[in-house]
Amino acid sequence: MPTALITGVAGQDGSYLAEFLIGRGYRVVGTTRDLRRALELPYARALAGVELIQGSIESSPDFLRAILERERPDEVYHLGGPSKVSASWANPAATTVDIVLPAALIIEAAAETLPSPRLFFAGSCEIFAPELQAQDERAPRSPVSPYGSAKLEAMEFVRQAREQLGLYAVTGILFNHESPRRGEAFVTRKIARGAARIARGRQTGLSLGLLDVRRDWGFAGDYVRAMWLMLFQEEPEDMVIGTGVAHSVADFCDAAFRHVGLDWREHVTVDESLVRPVDAPLRLANPARARQRLGWTPEVDFDALVRMMVGEELRVQS
């Protein structure tokens, strides 16, 4: 039975990955900053079967090393750390530490304690310069946020681990991916929840920032399958993971409110205070490499994703 270690296992991606791996016969060990909170999550059932360990890598290098020496994982998936781009502007230094330091510590500890580790690191499309076209692995790298800059620096550590240490280490350059488990501060969850609450008469309106920005939104459950596939290639390489289709925030509103029989334009208003300091007008993936090398394609399309998210919110509100 193979063993996998997932950092940030209680998050959206970590919980879907844990379910996926357990379904494939893995023993899964997962770290979380707050064990009690993890067990109280609405989707805590997804962590059934996971051997949970409380702690964070950046708080103590010995924490990670002890886990690796004791559990001897065959695969390590580093999904923990900050995930909200806009929050990085409030504390750029802390964002950098929380993203870059764990990546460096994982690489160092894995190289010293594991015989032949396979390491996956969750990267981000925010490493790329804003462009009005689809972006693949060759897209220019010029981040416009502290979050993106930190992700790019962490990705460089991973590249060096491959080239200088000979480790099987890869970064998945993940475009936006959502689910009913997405945090409430994210715009997709905010829209889905707002549509459900307005339909139930528990909310009168929904305030959002820019409505014309376009994002490549996919389903997190599809993306964790790509993460796993990336660890079983002949040669390790970084890959863009996305759907290849972009929709605007207004499109998301339209789909969400249509699901509850409402016209979003009658309920959504723009609040200038919610506009991010720098927001790329388009983030669109060209996932050709993932499709060719991994045979990976997303199974949940945009409309199904929105229906899934709104449906869960309606269930919670009932």
Catalytic one among 15, 56, 124, 145? 124
Catalytic one among 126, 178, 312, 313? 126
Query: Do 112 and 88 form a contact (C-beta atoms < 8 A)?
Result: no
Secondary structure of the chain: what % helix, strand, coil (to 5)? 45, 15, 40
Catalytic one among 147, 168, 179, 313? 147
Task: State the DSSP H helix or E strand holding residue 148, giving kind and residue range, or none if neither.
Answer: helix 146-165
Distance CA 237, CA 233 (A): 8
Q: Is 112 tagged catalytic?
A: no
Distance CA 175, CA 136 (A): 11
Quickly count helices (H) and strands (E) in the chain: 10, 14
Q: Is 26 tagged catalytic?
A: no
Q: What token pair was written down for 263?
A: 């016209």
Q: Is 142 tagged catalytic?
A: no
Query: Which amino acid belongs to residue 316?
Result: V
Distance CA 231, CA 118 (A): 6
What secondary structure, in 3-state letters, does 63-85 show?
A: HHHHHHHHHCCCEEEECCCCCCC
Task: State the DSSP H helix or E strand holding residue 34, giving kind and residue range, or none if neither.
Answer: none
Q: Where in the sequence numbering do the catalytic residues fall? A: 124, 126, 147
